[in-house]
Amino acid sequence: MKPRYVLLIILLFFACSNRNSPQAVTEDFIFNYYKLANQTAALQLSAELATEKLNDEIARLQEVRSPADPNPEMPNIAYKQIGKETTTEIENVTHVSFNYQLTIKNRIGDTTHTRNVVITTENIDGRWKVINFDEY
């Protein structure tokens, strides 16, 4: 199956399902930000500090991204959830944080790196948003 058809199927799946949960928003964020390197799409899923980080990154990358080459060659990135934590703070604000492990392979497949990512979500005005993300 051609990659564009796979992407179309994935987009239809996202459009037809309820993606307003901490888990779904986190997975959509990882897919857009890490797998596709699409900060603009990830920005739609963010708020607060995550939005600031993404806006800063978009501004820095404007100089090196070419409109003629919108899809740079991306490494193969797989991810799996390795932890989850829910906390309720003052005024009943609930944060749900997810720990993911990313496995990054270059296109040739001879180099592999792993990174851990913590993504924190919060329900803001009835929509779950990524409010922060950190790698270590």
Whether 52 has a pLDDT exceeding 60, the answer reads yes
Residue of higher predicted confidence among 113 and 65: 113
- How far apart (Å, rounded) are the C-alpha atoms in residues 132 and 38? 17
pTM: 0.80
The side-by-side arrangement of strands in the sheet containing 127-135 is 76-88, 94-105, 112-124, 127-135
Asked whether 94 and 123 are in contact (CB, 8 A), the reply is yes
Q: pLDDT value at position 8?
A: 61
- Which residues 6+ apart lie within 8 Å of 61 measured at CB? 39
Q: pLDDT value at position 103?
A: 95
- Which residues 6+ apart lie within 8 Å of 57 measured at CB? 39
Range with the poorest average pLDDT among 5-19, 47-61, 63-77: 5-19
